Amino acid sequence: MIETVATTPFDDQKPGTSGLRKKVPHFQQPNYAQNFIQSIFDAVERPEEAVLVIGGDGRFFNREVIQLAIRMAAANGYGRVVVGQNGILSTPAASNLIRTRKASGGIVLSASHNPGGPKGDFGIKYNIANGGPAPEGVTEAIYRRSKELSAYRISQAAAPDLSVLGESRIEGMVVEVIDPVADYLALMETLFDLDRIKAHLAAGFTMRFDAMHAVTGPYAKAIFEGRLGAPAGTVINGTPLEDFGGGHPDPNAVYAAELISELMQADGPDFGAASDGDGDRNLIVGRGVVVSPSDSLAIIAANAHLAPGYAGGIAGIARSMPTSQAADRVAAKRGLAMFETPTGWKFFGNLLDAGKVTICGEESSGTGSDHVREKDGVWAVLMWLNILAVRGESVREIVESHWREFGRTYYQRHDYEEIDKRAADGLMASLRDRLASMAGQRFGTLVVSEADDFSYKDPVDGSISTSQGVRIVFSGGSRVVFRLSGTGTKGATLRVYLEVFESNPERHARAPEEALAELIATADVIGEISRRTGRAAPDVIT
């Protein structure tokens, strides 16, 4: 039986950089999740009897919300729901299923790299029919609907057992429980020379993959240890846990410190990698070298043709604005189109759909291609493995030869987390006020050549996104960018992105903090960071 339940709107259901993210107790308020899901169903485009993909990263509260979403889909006219076994689907696997099943969209339950558990974070994200995150027009429509909602529709029947593969029905809607890995692995077979990677591993190449007790565990075990024959134990922390084992499933130098320290040993594995809560981010480490996400994007773009799925070359590259300009140098040298978008994978969707770019990436550990419409952690690892197998060099050799050919872009992101929201807004407002007078100002040896607040006009649909971050460029090309995170759930997070370009190979062996020292000090002066936030140092440096 379908019930229409009266409700009252919440005023805080505005999706951020990547869907609606809040603390679990916030989501547990009566009707909170129901309201948001109904707002999605009311606002999005979907034909009668549409197909909906549902999956999540297995974090605390996933099971409850998946049941709700299925019962609500059944009451809202969907014809079929495709759901991963036990509710598990990595974000890129969900994107792939939306595309292959010709779904009208998908609901991904995840707060990505944010910690989980009863007091941790939870999130709901809607992806559209191309498999990508809903663009701003759609998230705005969902938000508008959430502010006027007076009722939601839900089936009173219980949702089926999601541990059993196969089809069942609820209110006439088919619920299809699928193996979360099979379709994804089939897609990877079409892109990479998995037999060659397997032979490389059999010949003694060693790797470690840290799934961080998050969603990529089953994918990594099936692909790296199963299909590619890496020894058991190659995948660590491979069982998804509701609280990620108490950890923070963010593959960076802070939260993947153990993996990195293993790779820094002289007798460590040749290659290390990690992925995040929902499997879309990646960390790439070689013995003795951590590859920065911006460098990884540039190196992948320069070498993608070595993988069979990209053998014909790539159409172009896109990066988010704060991502370093290392990829731009590859595009310039190879005559490829280059696009600079605001932060958020959703901005790549139109460029990928229009065939303008093949490879996309972000400083926030995201890399991907036109194979799906999300960034893809396991894809990035397989791309690196394919490149390593073909070139037969170490990660370090590949990175250093890339710098010799294209120059090195020293890069760091400094995060100031959970700072007072008013202080953060004040800092950004002050920067914006001073932009017009900044050009020509000197700070030590640095002279400002340009300063602006980034805005983006989508070259495909003409939509405009303003206030996407303050950029200050110095003569010589060094750059500092200030912006507030759109994914935090407490206070505000200030992100300061710093980069310095170095063409001289004799100066490529410096530590990033040394190469960036003057810029870091200048950023504090220009941004008035310590004065306004009361913080002497960032919480996280990536």
Give contact residues for ligand G16 (rule: CB under 6 A): 17-18, 112-113, 280-281, 320, 343-345, 362, 364, 366, 485-487, 495
Helix, strand, coil % over all residues of the chain, rounded to 5: 35, 25, 40
CB nearer to ligand G16: pick between 193 and 276: 276
CB of residue 490 to ligand G16, shortest distance in Å:
13
Alpha-carbon span 236 to 232, nearest angstrom = 9
CB 211 within 8 A of CB 274: yes
Q: Helices H, strands E: what count in the chain?
A: 18, 27
CB nearer to ligand G16: pick between 339 and 403: 339
Catalytic residues: 112
CB of residue 272 to ligand G16, shortest distance in Å:
20
CB nearer to ligand G16: pick between 251 and 269: 251
CB 277 within 8 A of CB 111: yes
Q: Return the bridge partners of 259, or none.
A: none
Q: Which residue has the tokens 């139109």?
A: 350
CB nearer to ligand G16: pick between 252 and 522: 252
CB of residue 277 to ligand G16, shortest distance in Å:
8
Question: Is the alpha carbon torsion for 328, 330, 332, 334 positive or negative?
Answer: negative
CB nearer to ligand G16: pick between 153 and 479: 479
Secondary structure of residue 48 in the 3-state scheme = coil
CB nearer to ligand G16: pick between 71 and 495: 495
CB nearer to ligand G16: pick between 74 and 214: 214
CB within 8 Å of 445: residues ≥ 6 apart: 518
CB within 8 Å of 11: residues ≥ 6 apart: 147
Cα of 142 vs its chain's centroid, Å: 21
Alpha-carbon span 400 to 508, nearest angstrom = 8
| Residue from 407, 409, 389, 388 nearest 397 by CA | 388
CB nearer to ligand G16: pick between 87 and 344: 344
C-alpha distance across the termini of the chain, in Å: 51
CB within 8 Å of 57: residues ≥ 6 apart: 88, 90, 91, 109, 110, 112, 214, 215, 240, 277, 278, 279
Angle between helix 377-391 and 293-303 (nearest 10): 60
CB of residue 212 to ligand G16, shortest distance in Å:
13
Alpha-carbon span 499 to 336, nearest angstrom = 22
Dihedral angle of Cα 112, 117, 122, 127, to the nearest 10 degrees: 50
